Amino acid sequence: MTRSHQPGELLLRLRGVTKQFGAVTALQDIELDIHAGEVVALVGDNGAGKSTLVKVLAGVHQPTTGTIEYLGQPATFDSPGKALEMGIATVFQDLALCENLDVVANLFLGHEVNPWALDEVQMEVRAWTLLRELAARIPSVREPIASLSGGQRQTVAIARSLLLDPKIIMLDEPTAALGVAQTAEVLNLIERVRDRGHGVILISHNMEDVRAVADRIVVLRLGRNNGTFNANISHQELVAAITGASENSVSRRAARKLETADQIGEALQ
Amino acid sequence: MSPSDNIEPRLDRADSRVRHDAGLAGALRGFIDQVRSGDLGMLPVFVGLLLISIVFSALNPVFLAPNNLVNLLFDAAAVGFIALGVVCVLLLGEIDLSIGSMSGLASAITGVLWVGSGWPLLLVIPAVILTGAIVGLIYGFLRNQFEMPSFVATLSGLLALLGLQLYLLGPTGSINMPFSSALVRFGQILIMPAWLSYLVAIIPGTLIVWGARRADAQREAANLSSTGMSVPIAKAGVLTAALLFAVWYLEQGRGVPWMFGVFVAFVAGLDYALRRTKWGRSMFAVGGNAEAARRSGINVRRIRMSAFIVCSSFAALGGVFAAARLASASQQAGTGDVNLNAIAAAVIGGTSLFGGRGSAWSALLGVLVIMAISNGLTLLNLSSSLRYMITGAVLAIAVIVDSLARRSRASHGRA
Ligand SMILES: Nc1ncnc2c1ncn2[C@@H]1O[C@H](COP(=O)(O)OP(=O)(O)OP(=O)(O)O)[C@@H](O)[C@H]1O
Ligand SMILES: [Mg+2]
């Protein structure tokens, strides 16, 4: 990184971003600000548009309408390469790894050391260092990705996003397949990255993780903004924002559980 | 210093679950594991060559005569060049079915410009390769811009290029090339001096040992485990002995053709490009998972374009070699079994039709198998009808092996 940013400095600003896939409107009038030194959690139900938003910022999809400002300048991310170059790295939900290549090749894909005579030793050392930072349990970095477990692959994808020392890092359900220790390491890592003055966008369905690290929680519902909260928000309120009603399947289930507990209590008495 | 002397474990040796094969026995065990999981590598080629030699030399002892093998190498170079290009498109999971026509067109252009218009060879050959590059550019454009499947684009190319070839050759239908010219001598008689052939035979082994030493030293310095020298030395020893024997055997006849030597040099060059450069890495990535490659910032369109350009250019160069070999450019050049031979060679050598797996050496080894079959059948005086059927069957078998190996690899988690 060339210069570090003051905490609180605005890195990314989205206004009125809409994305349509044919008849489906995946995102509508999205507003989002990302500041340096801040973890923004993006939550919402399945199909709410979280991954689509991340892909728009990663240059994978082009927004149908709307403006994106990056470091105070209007910006278009017309290819994934451009977004990476500008300092936005992404861990995609589907990981986007090449199964036929080994761990080192995947980590450095598109950014190999010494393009005309690949420096395998240097890349391997760097790979081990990155993986160690994540407490990765990877037996060999010279095995093809196809032979790794789901969680190991996820670790590789996360390690890859750190490689270029990005200004903003977006993690789309990075801990979905991770073990307890690895999840803790990823959360630690998110805090370390934030403390270095980078912006982090975290997508997760795990509300505990979200409230543990997020400075702000942005809720998407059916492709629209449905409120921005700070980390102190109660579980019920957050669920209500995600599902769109205080009366919802989660609250009903909780109520039912309470009821059965009461009944058992009465029966015992 | 043995690894156990280190208090701090090596960077890559922290996980105790992995068996780290060391030494010769370890390498052998690793190789057997690899083959059983469906990663066959070059194994089918060696089995194939062995079977072919036994069968054909039993049927006709001339097959293994030094001069017959020298002729075989002369024949192999042209198809080998075409197969080398095919490797590039197969790596991306694409195909080029017009390579035969491209080589035919290339020999026609050579005939027209060189014999017909009197251009110097030094201009003719670049012009021919440029033509190939332009054809590849068109295929790449069709694939990128219109998402046209490459087999359709190149199938129409097959006919279009053949048409152009017939048009260029005109009503006479063939152009003969002067036997005393450098090109024809290159294609029919020029032999590498014996000392040079022997020298070349030692190079691969030397490179293996030297490369392994360098890698070991670098890994040692970077606190990575090193593999030790016993395996590379054994590999280099076997390889050098085999190559020296091959050269010695060919020297009992006329020797190693220059044409074949040039082909091998190109194979080595492409091998380096595929394994040791960013371009090569990108080729494998796009063949393995194009969307993942795109999201890593690789310009997938440019990589595809480059593969088609390399393929057609090599096919064009193969056409020049074929013209040199036959001392003519005719309407038959590049037709018949040329297409299939080149594709079969790449697949037999171990390049997968499904993309993401393969090597430049597969073109060399595969073309030896294909040419050995074709040469053996010719010695038996079999008509081309039978030869075509047998070549077709060989390609089918190669593809079946490829598919089965792929399935086995998938179930063993080796991509
Ligand atoms: N490439 C695409 N083509 C068409 N529709 C798409 C595409 N990608 C996403 N969609 C649609 O956009 C909507 C939002 O999808 P998205 O993947 O962003 O959801 P998500 O919030 O990430 O959900 P999840 O929690 O399940 O990952 C869905 O209705 C989906 O069907
Ligand atoms: Mg998603």
Tell me the pLDDT tens digit for each residue of B110-124: 999 999 999 999 999
What band does B17 get if pLDDT is binned at 50, 70 and 90?
Answer: low
pLDDT at B380 over 50: yes
> In B230-386, where do the E strands start and end?
328-330
Per-residue confidence (pLDDT) for residue B177, from 0 to 100: 93
Give chain A's mean pLDDT: 90
pLDDT at B19 over 70: no
In CATH, the architecture of B41-190+258-414 is Orthogonal Bundle (1.10)
Report yes or no: B103 and B82 within 8 Å, Cβ to Cβ.
yes
The answer, yes or no, to whether any atom of ligand 1 lies below 6 A from the CB of A50, is yes
Per-residue confidence (pLDDT) for residue B328, from 0 to 100: 93
B contacts of A140 (beta carbons < 8 Å):
12, 15, 18
| Of residues A182 and B305, more confidently modeled | B305
- Select from B144, B278, B301 the residue whose CB has the most chain A CBs within 10 Å, as the one to mutate to test that interface: B278
**Residues B223, A105: C-beta atoms closer than 8 Å:** no
The answer, yes or no, to whether any atom of ligand 1 lies below 6 A from the CB of A125, is no
For B122, counting Cβ atoms within 10 Å of its Cβ (0-12 exposed, 13-18 middle, 19+ buried), the class is exposed
Residue nearest to atom 29 of ligand 1 (CA): A47
What band does B21 get if pLDDT is binned at 50, 70 and 90?
Answer: low
Residue from A21, A54, A175, A201 to probe ligand 1 pocket by mutation (most atoms less than 8 Å from CB): A21
Nearest to A101 among B285, B409, B412 (CB): B285
For B187, counting Cβ atoms within 10 Å of its Cβ (0-12 exposed, 13-18 middle, 19+ buried), the class is buried
**Tens-digit pLDDT profile for residues B172-215:** 889 999 999 999 999 999 999 999 999 999 999 999 999 999 99
| Of residues B31 and A166, more confidently modeled | A166
Per-residue confidence (pLDDT) for residue B9, from 0 to 100: 67
**CA angle (A163, A167, A171) in 5-degree steps:** 70
Which residue of chain B has the CA closest to A115? B278
Where in the sequence is the domain holding A34, given as residue range(s)?
Answer: 10-100+168-268
Using only C-alpha atoms, chain B has a radius of gyration, in whole angstroms, of: 23
Per-residue confidence (pLDDT) for residue B167, from 0 to 100: 95
How far is C-alpha B104 from the geometric centre of its chain's CA atoms? 19
CA-based nearest distance A237→chain B, Å: 36
pLDDT at A2 over 50: no
Please give the Cα distance from A264 to B161 (Å, whole number). Answer: 84
A contacts of B288 (beta carbons < 8 Å):
98-101
The ranges assigned to domains in chain B are 41-190+258-414, 191-256
**Tens-digit pLDDT profile for residues B218-256:** 998 988 888 788 889 999 999 999 999 999 999 999 999
Backbone angles phi, psi at A9, to 5 degrees: -65, 140
Residue A50 lies in a domain: yes
How many Å lie between the centroid of ligand 2 and the Cα of residue A216? 19
Query: Which residues are in the CB-under-5-Å shell of ion ligand 2?
Result: A 51, 93
The predicted model gives A114-121 an average pLDDT of 93
pLDDT at B34 over 80: no
The answer, yes or no, to whether any atom of ligand 1 lies below 6 A from the CB of A1, is no
CA-based nearest distance A7→chain B, Å: 28
The answer, yes or no, to whether any atom of ligand 1 lies below 6 A from the CB of A47, is yes
**Tens-digit pLDDT profile for residues B73-106:** 999 999 999 999 999 999 999 999 999 999 999 9
Our count of domains for chain A comes to: 1
Per-residue confidence (pLDDT) for residue B1, from 0 to 100: 38
The predicted model gives B345-356 an average pLDDT of 92
The predicted model gives A181-198 an average pLDDT of 88
Listed range (A137-151, A184-198, A240-254) with the worst mean pLDDT: A240-254
Residue A188 lies in a domain: yes
Which residue of chain B has the CA closest to A132? B11
Distances in whole angstroms, Cα of residue B103 to Cα of each of A49, A230, B78, B339: 51, 68, 9, 9
What residue spans of B297-383 are helical by DSSP H? 300-326, 338-348, 361-379
Nearest to A98 among B18, B289, B409 (CB): B289
Q: What percent of chain B has pLDDT over 70?
A: 95
**How big is chain A, counted in residues?**
269
Q: Which H or E run includes A20?
A: strand A10-21
B346 closest CA partner among B99, B68, B36: B99
Residue A191 lies in a domain: yes
Nearest to B222 among A95, A110, A125 (CB): A125
Chain A contacts to B (CB-CB under 8 A): 58, 60, 79-81, 84-85, 90, 92, 95-101, 105, 109-112, 115-118, 120-122, 124-125, 128-129, 137-141, 144-148, 160
The predicted model gives B15-42 an average pLDDT of 72
What CATH number does residue A90 fall under?
A: 3.40.50.300
Q: Which H or E run includes A227?
A: strand A224-230
pLDDT at B38 over 80: no
Q: What is the pTM (predicted TM-score) of this model?
A: 0.92
**Residues A140, B18: C-beta atoms closer than 8 Å:** yes
pLDDT at B16 over 70: no
Listed range (A191-200, B236-245, B285-294) with the worst mean pLDDT: A191-200
How far is C-alpha B27 from the geometric centre of its chain's CA atoms? 26
The answer, yes or no, to whether any atom of ligand 1 lies below 6 A from the CB of A52, is yes
Residue A45 lies in a domain: yes
The answer, yes or no, to whether any atom of ligand 1 lies below 6 A from the CB of A206, is no
pLDDT at B5 over 70: no
CA-based nearest distance B344→chain A, Å: 22
Please give the Cα distance from A267 to A257 (Å, whole number). Answer: 15
